[in-house]
Amino acid sequence: MSAILFDRIDEPGLNDIDTYERRGGYEALRKALAQPREGLLEELKASGLRGRGGAGFPLGMKASFIPGADIDKYLVCNADESEPGTFKDRELMQKNPHMLIEGMIIAAFTVDANRSFIYIRGEYVLQAEVLEQAIAQAKAAGFLGDNILGSGFSLDLVLHRGAGAYICGEETGLLDSLEGKRGNPRLKPPFPANQGLFQGPTLINNVETLATIPAIIRMGGSEYAKLGIENSAGTKLVSVSGNVQRPGNYEIELGMSSRDIIFDLAGGPDEGREVKFWFPGGSSSSVLTAADLDTTYDFDAMEKAGSMLGSGAIIVVDDSNSVVDVALTLASFYKHESCGKCTPCREGTTWTVKMLQRVQSGEATPMDLDIIASVQEQIIGNCLCVLGDAMAIPVGSLVAKFRPEFEAHIESARERNGLGITPPAASEEPVLSL
Amino acid sequence: MTEVTRFTHGSRIPGWDEPVDPTKAAAVIPDLANTPVPTELREEIQAEMAKYPVFRSALIPALHAAQRVHGWCSPEAIEQVAAVMGITPGEVAAVATFYDMFETQPVGSQAIYVCTNISCSLRGGPKILEAMRAAADGDADFNIRAFECLGACDMAPMASVNGEFVGPLTESDCAQIVADLKSGGEVLAAKQLRVRPCADQAGRVDGGQTTTSEVTQ
Ligand SMILES: Cc1cc2nc3c(=O)[nH]c(=O)nc-3n(C[C@H](O)[C@H](O)[C@H](O)COP(=O)(O)O)c2cc1C
Ligand code: SF4
Ligand code: FES
What is the full per-residue pLDDT of chain A (434 aa) written as tens digits? 779 999 999 999 999 999 999 999 999 999 999 999 999 999 999 999 999 999 999 999 999 999 998 999 999 999 999 999 999 999 999 999 999 999 999 999 999 999 999 999 999 999 999 999 999 999 999 999 999 999 999 999 999 999 999 999 999 999 999 999 999 999 999 999 999 999 999 999 999 999 999 999 999 999 999 999 999 999 999 999 999 999 999 999 999 999 999 999 999 999 999 999 999 999 999 999 999 999 999 999 999 999 999 999 999 999 999 999 999 999 999 999 999 999 999 999 999 999 999 999 999 988 999 999 999 999 999 999 999 999 999 999 999 999 999 999 999 998 888 776 555 555 555 545 44
The CATH class of the A323-416 domain is mainly alpha
pLDDT tens sequence across B144-180:
999 999 999 999 999 999 999 999 999 999 999 999 9
Closest-CA distance of chain A to residue B47, Å: 12
Task: Say how far apart CA A43 and CA A216 lie, in whole Å.
Answer: 7
CATH 3.40.50.11540 residue window(s) in chain A: 17-226
A352 pocket-lining for ligand 1 (C-beta < 6 Å): no
Contact B214 A1 (CB under 8 A): yes
Task: Say how far apart CA A355 and CA A373 lie, in whole Å.
Answer: 11
Please tell me the predicted confidence (pLDDT) of residue B15. 66
ipTM of the complex: 0.93
Q: How confident is the model at residue B3 (pLDDT cuts 50, 70, 90)?
A: very low
CATH 1.20.1440.230 residue window(s) in chain A: 323-416
Contact B95 A241 (CB under 8 A): no
- The residue of chain A nearest to residue B111, with distances taken between CA atoms, is A123
Residue B57, chain A, CB below 8 Å: the answer is yes
Pocket probe mutation, ligand 1, options A77, A83, A191, max atoms within 8 Å of Cβ: A83
CATH 3.10.20.600 residue window(s) in chain A: 229-318
> CA nearest A51: which of A164, A165, A155, A171?
A171
Q: So what's the architecture of A17-226 in CATH?
A: 3-Layer(aba) Sandwich (3.40)
Per-residue exposure over A258-285, b if at least 16 CB sit within 10 Å of its own CB, e if not: bbbbbbbbbbbbeeebebbbbbbbbbbb
Q: Between 3.10.20.600, 3.90.1150.10, 3.90.550.10, 3.40.309.10, what CATH number should domain A229-318 receive? A: 3.10.20.600
Kind of pairing between the strands at A235-242 and A313-318: parallel
From chain A, the residues in CB contact with B211 under 8 A are: 1, 250, 252, 265
Q: Which strands make up the sheet holding B110-115, listed edge to edge?
A: B142-147, B110-115, B159-161, B164-166
What sign results for the dihedral spanned by CA atoms A47, A51, A56, A58? negative
B158 pocket-lining for ligand 3 (C-beta < 6 Å): yes
Pocket probe mutation, ligand 1, options A121, A197, A206, A335, max atoms within 8 Å of Cβ: A206
A384 pocket-lining for ligand 2 (C-beta < 6 Å): yes
B118 pocket-lining for ligand 3 (C-beta < 6 Å): yes
Contact A91 B156 (CB under 8 A): no
Task: Say how far apart CA A376 and CA A16 lie, in whole Å.
Answer: 48
Kind of pairing between the strands at A115-120 and A74-79: parallel
**Partners of A253 in the beta sheet?**
A235
Expressed in angstroms and rounded, the spacing between residue A342 Cα and the centre of ligand 2 is 5
Pocket probe mutation, ligand 3, options B119, B154, B191, max atoms within 8 Å of Cβ: B119
Q: What is the mean pLDDT of chain B?
A: 89
Expressed in angstroms and rounded, the spacing between residue A213 Cα and the centre of ligand 2 is 31
From the CA of B98, the nearest ligand is 2
Task: Say how far apart CA A164 and CA A183 lie, in whole Å.
Answer: 10
Please tell me the predicted confidence (pLDDT) of residue A421. 59
